[in-house]
């Protein structure tokens, strides 16, 4: 099933890219975090609300198993339960802003870390640091990064996950804002991966910033420059 998206070529997102329902509430939240006049405290507050929505939606794409339980009335209820274990992996540093929302939705979730930085000489993303649970290959991974621009950092982080034994189809990539170039770059390499995003912008400017965008998410959220 594809999702309509005016900013994606052809007007339809790929079937494994999931756009949050563009409700009036979400549009108001996105307006707040895009506004250059929004102060840091409000930026954090409204970003956290969107992140919570992203995590909740991302969990919908994890497998479930049938489960029957007994209610306090003594009668059975035929429900479902999550199958398998979950791990959240933020791409440092902006991705760390999404940890709180994940922890609020998934009690006791394991967290890994990946740091990718751009090599100034080659202009290519390079792995600088990773710390992942020893059993991550057995887990479903929610990869966290607020912005999907060129896709370079995401591709490198996904390569790291695959090298540790994580299955491509067990990765769900969550971000607040994406562009078609980044989506296409990631899916060209990893067609079984799922992407969940809150909004899609038309593209990048000559400095590779998302436009109209929302600025540098990490700087605005954490209140400091690199």
**pLDDT tens per residue across span 51-84:** 999 999 999 999 999 999 999 999 999 999 988 8
What is the model's pTM? 0.94
Any idea what the Cα angle at residue 133 is, between residues 131 and 137, rounded to 5°? 115
Our answer to whether residue 169 is catalytic in this structure is no
Q: Please give the residue that has the higher pLDDT: either 21 or 121.
A: 21
pLDDT digits (tens, 9 = 90+) for 81-94: 988 899 999 999 89
Catalytic residue from among 71, 73, 122, 206: 122
Domain boundaries, the chain: 20-222
Topology, domain 20-222: Rossmann fold (3.40.50)
- With cut-offs at 50, 70 and 90, classify the pLDDT of residue 96: very high
Catalytic residue from among 49, 93, 118, 189: 118
Our answer to whether residue 219 is catalytic in this structure is yes
pLDDT digits (tens, 9 = 90+) for 165-186: 999 999 999 999 999 999 999 9
Is the pLDDT at 226 greater than 50? The verdict is no
């Amino acid at each position: 099933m594809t999702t309509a998206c005016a900013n994606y070529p052809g007007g339809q997102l790929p079937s494994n890219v999931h756009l949050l329902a563009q409700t009036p509430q979400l549009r108001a939240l996105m307006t707040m975090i895009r506004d250059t006049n929004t102060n840091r405290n409000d930026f954090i507050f409204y970003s956290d609300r969107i992140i919570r929505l992203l995590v909740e939606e991302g969990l919908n794409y994890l497998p479930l198993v049938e489960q029957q339980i007994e209610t306090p009335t003594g009668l059975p209820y035929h429900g479902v339960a999550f199958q398998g274990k979950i791990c959240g992996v933020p791409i440092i540093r902006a991705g760390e802003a999404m940890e709180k929302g994940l922890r609020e939705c998934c009690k006791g979730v394991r967290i890994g870390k990946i740091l990718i930085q751009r090599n100034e000489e080659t202009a290519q993303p390079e792995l600088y640091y990773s710390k992942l649970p020893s059993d991550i290959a057995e887990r479903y991974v929610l990869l966290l990064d607020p912005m999907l621009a060129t896709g370079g950092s995401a591709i490198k982080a996904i390569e790291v996950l695959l090298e540790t034994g994580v299955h491509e189809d067990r990765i769900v990539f969550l971000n607040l804002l994406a562009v078609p170039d980044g989506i296409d770059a990631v899916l060209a390499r990893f067609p079984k991966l799922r992407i969940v995003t809150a909004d899609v912008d038309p593209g990048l400017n000559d400095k590779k910033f998302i436009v109209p965008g929302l600025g540098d998410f990490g700087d605005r959220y954490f209140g400091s420059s690199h």
